[in-house]
Chain A
Amino acid sequence: MDDPGFESVVAAHHGEIYRYLRRVGRRASEADDLSQETFLRAYRAWRSLEPQANVRAWLFAIATNVYRNHARGEHRRRTAYDAARLRRSELDAGGPEEEAMASETRMLTEAAIGRLPLKQRLAFIMRKLHDVDYDTIGQSLECSAESARAHVFQALKKIRTNLDRHRPPTRECER
Protein backbone atom coordinates (compact mmCIF):
# COMPACT_ATOMS: atom_id res chain seq x y z
CA MET A 1 0.00 0.00 0.00
CA ASP A 2 2.74 2.40 -0.94
CA ASP A 3 2.62 5.41 -3.22
CA PRO A 4 5.22 4.88 -5.89
CA GLY A 5 3.55 7.73 -7.78
CA PHE A 6 4.61 10.30 -5.26
CA GLU A 7 8.23 9.24 -5.37
CA SER A 8 8.26 10.14 -9.05
CA VAL A 9 6.75 13.54 -8.20
CA VAL A 10 9.62 14.16 -5.78
CA ALA A 11 12.16 13.02 -8.33
CA ALA A 12 10.74 15.19 -11.09
CA HIS A 13 9.93 18.40 -9.24
CA HIS A 14 11.84 18.70 -5.99
CA GLY A 15 14.87 20.33 -7.56
CA GLU A 16 12.90 23.07 -9.21
CA ILE A 17 10.68 23.77 -6.21
CA TYR A 18 13.76 23.87 -4.01
CA ARG A 19 15.42 26.39 -6.34
CA TYR A 20 12.25 28.48 -6.40
CA LEU A 21 12.09 28.62 -2.60
CA ARG A 22 15.82 29.24 -2.45
CA ARG A 23 15.33 32.29 -4.67
CA VAL A 24 12.32 33.76 -2.91
CA GLY A 25 13.84 33.12 0.50
CA ARG A 26 17.10 34.14 1.93
CA ARG A 27 18.92 31.16 3.34
CA ALA A 28 19.54 27.63 2.20
CA SER A 29 18.20 26.28 5.49
CA GLU A 30 14.96 28.19 4.88
CA ALA A 31 14.56 26.66 1.41
CA ASP A 32 15.34 23.24 2.88
CA ASP A 33 12.60 23.54 5.52
CA LEU A 34 10.06 25.12 3.21
CA SER A 35 10.59 22.64 0.38
CA GLN A 36 10.08 19.82 2.85
CA GLU A 37 6.93 21.46 4.13
CA THR A 38 5.72 21.87 0.54
CA PHE A 39 6.19 18.20 -0.32
CA LEU A 40 4.81 16.90 2.96
CA ARG A 41 1.69 18.97 2.36
CA ALA A 42 1.56 17.76 -1.21
CA TYR A 43 1.85 14.14 -0.07
CA ARG A 44 -1.14 14.52 2.22
CA ALA A 45 -3.23 15.88 -0.65
CA TRP A 46 -1.68 13.72 -3.37
CA ARG A 47 -4.27 10.96 -3.47
CA SER A 48 -7.16 13.36 -3.83
CA LEU A 49 -5.50 15.23 -6.70
CA GLU A 50 -7.29 14.88 -10.04
CA PRO A 51 -5.38 12.49 -12.31
CA GLN A 52 -5.21 15.06 -15.11
CA ALA A 53 -4.04 17.89 -12.83
CA ASN A 54 -0.91 19.85 -13.70
CA VAL A 55 1.37 18.61 -10.92
CA ARG A 56 4.05 21.24 -11.49
CA ALA A 57 1.55 24.11 -11.26
CA TRP A 58 0.00 22.48 -8.21
CA LEU A 59 3.38 22.27 -6.48
CA PHE A 60 4.23 25.89 -7.28
CA ALA A 61 0.91 26.92 -5.75
CA ILE A 62 1.61 24.91 -2.58
CA ALA A 63 5.18 26.21 -2.33
CA THR A 64 3.98 29.78 -2.79
CA ASN A 65 1.40 29.30 -0.10
CA VAL A 66 3.94 27.76 2.26
CA TYR A 67 6.32 30.64 1.65
CA ARG A 68 3.67 33.29 2.16
CA ASN A 69 2.64 31.75 5.47
CA HIS A 70 6.25 31.63 6.46
CA ALA A 71 6.85 35.25 5.42
CA ARG A 72 3.82 36.40 7.40
CA GLY A 73 5.38 34.90 10.47
CA GLU A 74 8.61 36.76 9.98
CA HIS A 75 8.76 40.12 11.67
CA ARG A 76 11.31 41.70 9.47
CA ARG A 77 11.17 41.67 5.79
CA ARG A 78 14.54 41.49 4.30
CA THR A 79 15.80 44.88 3.24
CA ALA A 80 19.46 44.43 2.84
CA TYR A 81 21.14 42.54 0.14
CA ASP A 82 23.17 39.59 1.22
CA ALA A 83 26.33 39.87 -0.83
CA ALA A 84 27.32 36.36 0.09
CA ARG A 85 24.59 35.07 -2.21
CA LEU A 86 26.29 36.46 -5.24
CA ARG A 87 27.49 33.92 -7.70
CA ARG A 88 29.31 34.63 -10.87
CA SER A 89 27.52 33.70 -14.01
CA GLU A 90 29.21 31.86 -16.78
CA LEU A 91 26.96 33.68 -19.21
CA ASP A 92 28.67 37.01 -18.66
CA ALA A 93 30.90 37.32 -21.66
CA GLY A 94 33.30 40.09 -22.50
CA GLY A 95 36.42 41.58 -20.99
CA PRO A 96 37.12 42.14 -17.31
CA GLU A 97 35.55 45.57 -17.35
CA GLU A 98 32.30 44.42 -18.90
CA GLU A 99 32.32 41.45 -16.62
CA ALA A 100 32.61 43.63 -13.57
CA MET A 101 29.83 45.81 -14.87
CA ALA A 102 27.59 42.84 -15.58
CA SER A 103 28.34 41.49 -12.14
CA GLU A 104 27.38 44.78 -10.58
CA THR A 105 24.18 44.88 -12.59
CA ARG A 106 23.32 41.44 -11.35
CA MET A 107 24.02 42.42 -7.81
CA LEU A 108 21.76 45.45 -8.14
CA THR A 109 19.07 43.34 -9.79
CA GLU A 110 19.16 40.74 -7.05
CA ALA A 111 18.99 43.48 -4.45
CA ALA A 112 16.01 45.03 -6.22
CA ILE A 113 14.26 41.65 -6.38
CA GLY A 114 14.87 41.22 -2.68
CA ARG A 115 13.18 44.52 -1.95
CA LEU A 116 10.08 43.88 -4.04
CA PRO A 117 6.75 43.58 -2.24
CA LEU A 118 6.05 39.91 -1.56
CA LYS A 119 3.46 39.26 -4.27
CA GLN A 120 5.53 41.01 -6.92
CA ARG A 121 8.62 39.13 -5.87
CA LEU A 122 6.87 35.75 -5.98
CA ALA A 123 5.18 36.52 -9.29
CA PHE A 124 8.43 37.78 -10.81
CA ILE A 125 10.50 34.79 -9.70
CA MET A 126 7.89 32.30 -10.85
CA ARG A 127 7.53 33.97 -14.23
CA LYS A 128 11.04 35.08 -15.04
CA LEU A 129 13.17 32.47 -13.33
CA HIS A 130 10.90 29.43 -13.62
CA ASP A 131 8.71 30.11 -16.69
CA VAL A 132 5.49 29.51 -14.78
CA ASP A 133 2.44 30.64 -16.77
CA TYR A 134 0.30 33.54 -15.58
CA ASP A 135 -2.76 31.38 -14.85
CA THR A 136 -0.74 29.30 -12.41
CA ILE A 137 0.84 32.38 -10.85
CA GLY A 138 -2.64 33.85 -10.43
CA GLN A 139 -3.87 30.68 -8.73
CA SER A 140 -0.83 30.60 -6.48
CA LEU A 141 -1.30 34.20 -5.40
CA GLU A 142 -5.11 34.07 -5.33
CA CYS A 143 -5.48 36.69 -8.01
CA SER A 144 -6.32 36.80 -11.72
CA ALA A 145 -3.82 36.00 -14.45
CA GLU A 146 -4.03 39.68 -15.43
CA SER A 147 -3.08 40.78 -11.91
CA ALA A 148 -0.24 38.28 -11.97
CA ARG A 149 1.02 39.85 -15.18
CA ALA A 150 0.71 43.32 -13.65
CA HIS A 151 2.77 42.16 -10.64
CA VAL A 152 5.53 40.96 -12.95
CA PHE A 153 5.52 44.21 -14.95
CA GLN A 154 5.59 46.30 -11.80
CA ALA A 155 8.53 44.23 -10.63
CA LEU A 156 10.37 44.82 -13.90
CA LYS A 157 9.77 48.55 -13.64
CA LYS A 158 11.12 48.65 -10.10
CA ILE A 159 14.19 46.64 -11.03
CA ARG A 160 14.85 48.91 -13.95
CA THR A 161 14.39 52.04 -11.79
CA ASN A 162 16.81 50.63 -9.30
CA LEU A 163 19.40 50.06 -12.01
CA ASP A 164 18.89 53.61 -13.29
CA ARG A 165 19.61 55.00 -9.87
CA HIS A 166 22.98 53.32 -9.77
CA ARG A 167 24.19 53.59 -13.32
CA PRO A 168 24.46 56.19 -16.03
CA PRO A 169 22.14 55.71 -19.00
CA THR A 170 23.16 52.84 -21.17
CA ARG A 171 25.00 53.38 -24.39
CA GLU A 172 23.11 50.55 -25.98
CA CYS A 173 20.60 51.62 -28.55
CA GLU A 174 20.05 48.49 -30.52
CA ARG A 175 16.53 47.26 -30.85
Chain B
Amino acid sequence: MSRKHPVCLDLEPDLIATATGEAGAAGVERVDAHVARCAPCREDLARYRVVDRTVRALRAAAPPDAEADGARARLRARLADLRSRLVTYAVFDSPLGPILIARSEHGVSLVEYLGRGGVAGSSVARLGDPEVAEDRADLERLHAELLEYLTGRRTRLDWPLDWRLARSDFHRSVLQAAVAVPYGAVTSYAGIAGKIGTPTAVRAVAQALRHNPLPIVVPCHRIIGTSGDLTGYAGNRVELKEHLLAVEGVRTERGAHPARVARQALYHYDPNDQREYCLPTCGSIARRPIGPVTLLASRELAETLGLVPCSACRPDVHPLPR
Protein backbone atom coordinates (compact mmCIF):
# COMPACT_ATOMS: atom_id res chain seq x y z
CA MET B 1 0.00 0.00 0.00
CA SER B 2 2.89 2.29 0.66
CA ARG B 3 3.92 1.97 -2.96
CA LYS B 4 0.65 3.40 -4.17
CA HIS B 5 0.79 5.84 -7.04
CA PRO B 6 0.15 9.45 -5.95
CA VAL B 7 -2.91 9.61 -8.22
CA CYS B 8 -4.37 6.54 -6.49
CA LEU B 9 -3.54 7.94 -3.07
CA ASP B 10 -5.28 11.17 -3.97
CA LEU B 11 -8.33 9.27 -5.15
CA GLU B 12 -8.62 7.08 -2.05
CA PRO B 13 -11.14 9.21 -0.07
CA ASP B 14 -13.44 9.34 -3.09
CA LEU B 15 -12.99 5.64 -3.62
CA ILE B 16 -13.96 4.81 -0.04
CA ALA B 17 -16.87 7.24 -0.27
CA THR B 18 -18.06 5.65 -3.51
CA ALA B 19 -17.88 2.13 -2.10
CA THR B 20 -19.79 3.11 1.04
CA GLY B 21 -22.44 5.25 -0.62
CA GLU B 22 -21.21 8.63 0.59
CA ALA B 23 -19.76 10.10 -2.58
CA GLY B 24 -21.35 12.81 -4.70
CA ALA B 25 -21.96 12.32 -8.42
CA ALA B 26 -18.65 13.95 -9.36
CA GLY B 27 -16.73 11.68 -6.98
CA VAL B 28 -18.40 8.58 -8.34
CA GLU B 29 -17.61 9.63 -11.91
CA ARG B 30 -13.99 10.25 -11.05
CA VAL B 31 -13.65 6.88 -9.35
CA ASP B 32 -15.39 5.09 -12.23
CA ALA B 33 -13.04 6.65 -14.75
CA HIS B 34 -10.00 5.74 -12.68
CA VAL B 35 -10.82 2.13 -11.82
CA ALA B 36 -11.57 1.43 -15.48
CA ARG B 37 -7.85 1.64 -16.10
CA CYS B 38 -6.33 0.86 -12.68
CA ALA B 39 -6.57 -2.75 -11.54
CA PRO B 40 -5.28 -2.26 -7.93
CA CYS B 41 -7.87 0.45 -7.31
CA ARG B 42 -10.54 -1.70 -8.87
CA GLU B 43 -9.58 -4.37 -6.37
CA ASP B 44 -9.66 -1.76 -3.58
CA LEU B 45 -13.13 -0.66 -4.58
CA ALA B 46 -14.38 -4.23 -4.50
CA ARG B 47 -12.84 -4.78 -1.07
CA TYR B 48 -14.45 -1.66 0.33
CA ARG B 49 -17.77 -2.81 -1.10
CA VAL B 50 -17.41 -6.02 0.86
CA VAL B 51 -16.76 -3.94 3.97
CA ASP B 52 -19.82 -1.83 3.21
CA ARG B 53 -22.05 -4.87 2.75
CA THR B 54 -20.78 -6.40 5.96
CA VAL B 55 -21.42 -3.18 7.86
CA ARG B 56 -24.97 -3.08 6.48
CA ALA B 57 -25.48 -6.59 7.76
CA LEU B 58 -24.28 -5.46 11.17
CA ARG B 59 -26.86 -2.69 11.14
CA ALA B 60 -29.60 -5.22 10.72
CA ALA B 61 -28.22 -7.35 13.53
CA ALA B 62 -29.32 -5.00 16.29
CA PRO B 63 -29.63 -6.27 19.85
CA PRO B 64 -33.03 -7.87 20.46
CA ASP B 65 -35.87 -5.48 21.31
CA ALA B 66 -36.52 -7.24 24.62
CA GLU B 67 -33.12 -6.16 25.83
CA ALA B 68 -33.82 -2.48 25.11
CA ASP B 69 -37.34 -2.81 26.54
CA GLY B 70 -35.97 -4.07 29.83
CA ALA B 71 -33.48 -1.23 29.94
CA ARG B 72 -36.26 1.26 29.19
CA ALA B 73 -38.42 -0.05 32.01
CA ARG B 74 -35.53 0.37 34.44
CA LEU B 75 -34.89 3.86 33.06
CA ARG B 76 -38.53 4.87 33.64
CA ALA B 77 -38.31 3.80 37.27
CA ARG B 78 -35.17 5.84 37.78
CA LEU B 79 -36.64 8.84 36.00
CA ALA B 80 -39.68 8.73 38.27
CA ASP B 81 -37.37 8.69 41.25
CA LEU B 82 -35.29 11.57 39.87
CA ARG B 83 -38.41 13.60 39.09
CA SER B 84 -39.62 13.30 42.64
CA ARG B 85 -36.27 14.45 43.99
CA LEU B 86 -35.39 17.15 41.49
CA VAL B 87 -35.82 20.74 42.62
CA THR B 88 -35.22 23.69 40.34
CA TYR B 89 -34.83 27.23 41.56
CA ALA B 90 -34.12 30.73 40.31
CA VAL B 91 -33.69 34.17 41.81
CA PHE B 92 -35.76 37.04 40.44
CA ASP B 93 -36.04 40.76 41.07
CA SER B 94 -39.29 41.99 42.57
CA PRO B 95 -40.70 45.13 44.18
CA LEU B 96 -39.87 43.44 47.49
CA GLY B 97 -36.24 42.78 46.57
CA PRO B 98 -34.63 39.61 45.22
CA ILE B 99 -36.85 36.57 45.65
CA LEU B 100 -35.89 32.93 45.22
CA ILE B 101 -38.52 30.51 43.93
CA ALA B 102 -37.96 26.75 43.97
CA ARG B 103 -40.22 23.99 42.72
CA SER B 104 -40.31 20.24 42.42
CA GLU B 105 -42.48 17.86 40.49
CA HIS B 106 -45.14 18.25 43.19
CA GLY B 107 -45.27 22.01 43.21
CA VAL B 108 -43.65 25.13 44.58
CA SER B 109 -41.52 24.17 47.55
CA LEU B 110 -39.84 27.43 48.52
CA VAL B 111 -40.35 31.18 48.18
CA GLU B 112 -37.70 33.18 49.95
CA TYR B 113 -36.73 36.82 50.33
CA LEU B 114 -33.02 36.66 49.73
CA GLY B 115 -30.80 38.38 52.24
CA ARG B 116 -27.17 39.39 51.91
CA GLY B 117 -26.10 35.75 51.98
CA GLY B 118 -27.72 35.24 48.56
CA VAL B 119 -28.47 31.72 47.37
CA ALA B 120 -25.68 30.28 49.52
CA GLY B 121 -27.43 31.57 52.65
CA SER B 122 -30.89 30.51 51.52
CA SER B 123 -33.00 27.53 52.47
CA VAL B 124 -32.46 25.84 49.11
CA ALA B 125 -29.79 23.81 50.86
CA ARG B 126 -32.42 22.67 53.36
CA LEU B 127 -34.49 21.07 50.66
CA GLY B 128 -32.97 17.80 51.81
CA ASP B 129 -31.45 15.27 49.49
CA PRO B 130 -33.00 16.36 46.24
CA GLU B 131 -30.96 17.38 43.30
CA VAL B 132 -31.08 21.15 43.13
CA ALA B 133 -30.51 22.92 39.84
CA GLU B 134 -30.90 26.52 38.80
CA ASP B 135 -33.38 26.83 35.94
CA ARG B 136 -34.76 30.27 35.16
CA ALA B 137 -36.74 29.16 32.14
CA ASP B 138 -38.60 26.61 34.22
CA LEU B 139 -39.65 29.21 36.81
CA GLU B 140 -40.21 32.20 34.57
CA ARG B 141 -43.99 31.73 34.44
CA LEU B 142 -44.21 31.64 38.23
CA HIS B 143 -42.12 34.78 38.41
CA ALA B 144 -44.40 36.57 35.94
CA GLU B 145 -47.46 35.61 38.00
CA LEU B 146 -45.77 36.71 41.20
CA LEU B 147 -45.00 40.11 39.67
CA GLU B 148 -48.63 40.48 38.59
CA TYR B 149 -49.68 39.61 42.11
CA LEU B 150 -47.28 42.06 43.76
CA THR B 151 -48.47 44.87 41.52
CA GLY B 152 -52.16 44.20 42.13
CA ARG B 153 -52.94 42.77 38.68
CA ARG B 154 -53.66 39.30 40.04
CA THR B 155 -55.38 38.25 43.23
CA ARG B 156 -54.68 34.54 43.22
CA LEU B 157 -51.59 32.38 42.97
CA ASP B 158 -53.07 28.99 42.18
CA TRP B 159 -49.80 27.15 42.43
CA PRO B 160 -49.59 23.50 43.37
CA LEU B 161 -47.57 23.47 46.58
CA ASP B 162 -44.96 21.04 47.76
CA TRP B 163 -44.99 20.95 51.55
CA ARG B 164 -41.64 19.20 51.95
CA LEU B 165 -40.24 22.02 54.09
CA ALA B 166 -43.11 21.86 56.57
CA ARG B 167 -41.48 20.71 59.78
CA SER B 168 -44.36 18.71 61.20
CA ASP B 169 -48.00 17.88 60.67
CA PHE B 170 -48.88 20.78 62.96
CA HIS B 171 -46.70 23.14 60.92
CA ARG B 172 -48.38 21.99 57.76
CA SER B 173 -51.88 22.37 59.17
CA VAL B 174 -51.06 25.95 60.21
CA LEU B 175 -49.73 26.76 56.74
CA GLN B 176 -52.78 25.23 55.11
CA ALA B 177 -55.11 27.19 57.38
CA ALA B 178 -53.24 30.35 56.34
CA VAL B 179 -53.82 29.51 52.67
CA ALA B 180 -57.55 29.56 53.40
CA VAL B 181 -57.46 33.23 54.48
CA PRO B 182 -58.76 35.05 51.40
CA TYR B 183 -57.18 37.92 49.52
CA GLY B 184 -57.96 41.20 51.27
CA ALA B 185 -58.93 39.56 54.59
CA VAL B 186 -57.03 39.67 57.87
CA THR B 187 -57.18 37.37 60.86
CA SER B 188 -54.92 36.69 63.84
CA TYR B 189 -52.66 33.95 65.14
CA ALA B 190 -55.35 33.18 67.69
CA GLY B 191 -57.86 32.99 64.85
CA ILE B 192 -55.74 30.37 63.07
CA ALA B 193 -55.16 28.46 66.31
CA GLY B 194 -58.93 28.30 66.77
CA LYS B 195 -59.44 27.27 63.17
CA ILE B 196 -57.17 24.24 63.44
CA GLY B 197 -58.73 23.16 66.72
CA THR B 198 -55.88 24.13 69.06
CA PRO B 199 -57.12 27.47 70.45
CA THR B 200 -54.43 27.70 73.10
CA ALA B 201 -51.52 27.12 70.70
CA VAL B 202 -51.29 30.77 69.67
CA ARG B 203 -47.53 31.04 70.16
CA ALA B 204 -46.92 27.78 68.35
CA VAL B 205 -48.99 29.09 65.45
CA ALA B 206 -46.96 32.30 65.39
CA GLN B 207 -43.74 30.27 65.40
CA ALA B 208 -45.02 28.05 62.61
CA LEU B 209 -45.82 31.07 60.46
CA ARG B 210 -42.47 32.62 61.28
CA HIS B 211 -40.98 29.61 59.53
CA ASN B 212 -43.27 29.79 56.53
CA PRO B 213 -41.28 28.35 53.60
CA LEU B 214 -43.80 29.77 51.13
CA PRO B 215 -44.43 33.43 52.01
CA ILE B 216 -46.82 35.39 49.76
CA VAL B 217 -48.34 32.20 48.29
CA VAL B 218 -49.07 30.98 51.82
CA PRO B 219 -50.30 34.42 52.90
CA CYS B 220 -48.94 34.66 56.44
CA HIS B 221 -48.95 38.44 55.92
CA ARG B 222 -52.75 38.28 56.43
CA ILE B 223 -52.26 37.04 59.96
CA ILE B 224 -51.54 39.57 62.68
CA GLY B 225 -51.87 40.07 66.44
CA THR B 226 -55.36 40.13 68.04
CA SER B 227 -54.93 43.82 68.86
CA GLY B 228 -54.15 44.76 65.27
CA ASP B 229 -50.35 44.91 65.55
CA LEU B 230 -48.69 43.53 62.45
CA THR B 231 -46.03 41.92 64.70
CA GLY B 232 -43.14 40.42 62.72
CA TYR B 233 -42.52 39.38 59.16
CA ALA B 234 -39.55 37.83 57.34
CA GLY B 235 -37.28 38.43 60.31
CA ASN B 236 -37.74 42.11 61.09
CA ARG B 237 -39.05 43.29 57.74
CA VAL B 238 -42.55 44.36 58.75
CA GLU B 239 -42.51 46.89 55.91
CA LEU B 240 -42.89 43.94 53.51
CA LYS B 241 -46.01 42.87 55.37
CA GLU B 242 -47.41 46.40 55.13
CA HIS B 243 -46.64 46.44 51.43
CA LEU B 244 -48.38 43.12 50.79
CA LEU B 245 -51.44 44.18 52.80
CA ALA B 246 -51.55 47.54 50.98
CA VAL B 247 -51.60 45.71 47.61
CA GLU B 248 -54.72 43.88 48.83
CA GLY B 249 -56.37 47.11 50.00
CA VAL B 250 -55.80 46.50 53.72
CA ARG B 251 -54.78 49.84 55.16
CA THR B 252 -52.37 50.30 58.01
CA GLU B 253 -52.17 53.30 60.35
CA ARG B 254 -49.73 55.76 58.95
CA GLY B 255 -46.64 56.21 61.10
CA ALA B 256 -47.91 53.94 63.88
CA HIS B 257 -45.23 52.21 65.91
CA PRO B 258 -45.43 49.31 66.09
CA ALA B 259 -47.15 49.06 62.71
CA ARG B 260 -50.83 48.15 62.97
CA VAL B 261 -53.83 47.78 60.71
CA ALA B 262 -56.26 50.69 60.46
CA ARG B 263 -59.40 48.97 61.78
CA GLN B 264 -61.49 52.09 61.20
CA ALA B 265 -60.83 51.70 57.48
CA LEU B 266 -61.86 48.01 57.28
CA TYR B 267 -65.12 46.09 57.33
CA HIS B 268 -65.57 43.66 60.20
CA TYR B 269 -67.09 40.23 60.31
CA ASP B 270 -67.87 38.63 63.65
CA PRO B 271 -69.39 35.23 62.84
CA ASN B 272 -73.18 35.30 63.30
CA ASP B 273 -76.12 33.28 62.11
CA GLN B 274 -77.26 35.97 59.71
CA ARG B 275 -73.74 36.11 58.16
CA GLU B 276 -73.81 39.89 58.40
CA TYR B 277 -70.69 41.99 58.07
CA CYS B 278 -70.39 45.41 59.67
CA LEU B 279 -68.84 48.82 59.62
CA PRO B 280 -66.12 49.27 62.26
CA THR B 281 -68.46 51.70 64.02
CA CYS B 282 -71.14 49.08 64.59
CA GLY B 283 -71.56 48.72 68.37
CA SER B 284 -68.43 47.51 70.09
CA ILE B 285 -67.21 45.38 67.18
CA ALA B 286 -64.02 47.42 66.69
CA ARG B 287 -62.93 46.59 70.22
CA ARG B 288 -63.34 42.85 69.87
CA PRO B 289 -60.17 40.87 69.24
CA ILE B 290 -59.09 40.05 65.71
CA GLY B 291 -59.26 36.35 65.20
CA PRO B 292 -62.79 35.78 66.16
CA VAL B 293 -63.36 38.94 64.11
CA THR B 294 -62.11 38.93 60.52
CA LEU B 295 -61.18 42.23 58.88
CA LEU B 296 -62.14 42.74 55.24
CA ALA B 297 -60.67 45.21 52.77
CA SER B 298 -63.80 45.66 50.65
CA ARG B 299 -67.53 45.02 50.33
CA GLU B 300 -66.84 43.02 47.17
CA LEU B 301 -64.75 40.63 49.22
CA ALA B 302 -67.52 40.33 51.83
CA GLU B 303 -69.99 39.49 49.10
CA THR B 304 -67.62 36.97 47.53
CA LEU B 305 -67.51 35.26 50.91
CA GLY B 306 -71.31 35.08 50.94
CA LEU B 307 -71.79 37.74 53.61
CA VAL B 308 -74.62 40.28 53.69
CA PRO B 309 -74.62 43.89 54.95
CA CYS B 310 -75.53 44.35 58.61
CA SER B 311 -79.14 45.55 58.92
CA ALA B 312 -78.15 47.90 61.78
CA CYS B 313 -75.03 49.71 60.52
CA ARG B 314 -75.83 49.28 56.79
CA PRO B 315 -72.33 49.12 55.22
CA ASP B 316 -74.10 49.03 51.86
CA VAL B 317 -75.65 52.43 52.47
CA HIS B 318 -72.63 53.99 54.19
CA PRO B 319 -69.61 52.37 52.59
CA LEU B 320 -66.17 53.17 53.91
CA PRO B 321 -64.23 55.71 51.88
CA ARG B 322 -61.80 53.99 49.53
Contact = CB atoms under 8 A, between A and B. Distances in A.
Interface in A111-144: 128-129
Contacts of B46: 170, 172-174
Nearest to A32: B71
8 contacts: A10-B79, A14-B71, A36-B71, A36-B75, A102-B54, A163-B47, A164-B47, A170-B50
B68 A91 contact: no
Interface string A48-76: 10000000000000000000000000000
B127 to A, nearest CB: 15
A109 B54 CA distance: 7
Interface string A29-60: 00110011001100110011000000000000
Cβ-closest 6 pairs across A and B: A89-B57, A18-B68, A32-B71, A172-B46, A109-B54, A87-B61
B133 A44 contact: yes
B83 A3 contact: yes
B55 A153 contact: no
A97 interface: no
Contacts of A175: 32, 35, 42, 45
B135 interface: yes
B78 A36 contact: yes
A90 B79 contact: no
Contacts of B74: 32, 36
Interface stretch (B103-111, B194-202, B212-220, B313-321): B103-111
Given A1-B107, A19-B62, A160 B67 contact: no
Contact of A173 (B42, B78, B135): B42
Contacts of B50: 105, 163, 170, 172
Given A14-B68, A18-B68, A160-B47, A109 B55 contact: yes
Interface residues of B, number: 51
Contact of A19 (B17, B48, B63): B63
A167 B98 CA distance: 72
B135 to A, nearest CB: 6
B138 interface: yes
A28 B67 CA distance: 8
A171 to B, nearest CB: 9
Contacts of A160: 47-48, 51
Interface of A: 1-3, 6, 10, 14-15, 18-19, 22, 28, 31-32, 35-36, 39-40, 43-44, 47-48, 87-92, 102, 105-106, 109-110, 128-129, 153, 156-157, 159-160, 163-164, 169-170, 172-175
Interface string B16-56: 11001000000000001001000000110111111100111
Interface string B76-102: 101100110010100000000000000
Contact of A10 (B17, B49, B72, B83): B72
B271 interface: no
Nearest to B19: A156
Nearest to B139: A47
B51 A129 contact: no
Nearest to A86: B61
Contacts of B51: 109, 156, 159-160, 163
A146 B120 CA distance: 44
A39 B75 contact: yes
Contact of A40 (B48, B82, B88): B82
Contacts of B55: 109, 128-129, 159
A173 B35 CA distance: 10
Given A1-B105, A40-B79, A163-B51, A110 B58 contact: yes
Contacts of B133: 44
A43 to B, nearest CB: 6
A15 B54 contact: no
Contact of A129 (B42, B58, B83, B131): B58
A145 B88 CA distance: 35
Nearest to A17: B68
Given A15-B65, A48-B137, A109-B51, A91 B86 contact: no
A66 B138 CA distance: 25
B63 A156 contact: no
A17 B88 CA distance: 27
B115 interface: no
A14 B47 contact: no
A163 to B, nearest CB: 7
B140 to A, nearest CB: 11
Contacts of A39: 75, 79
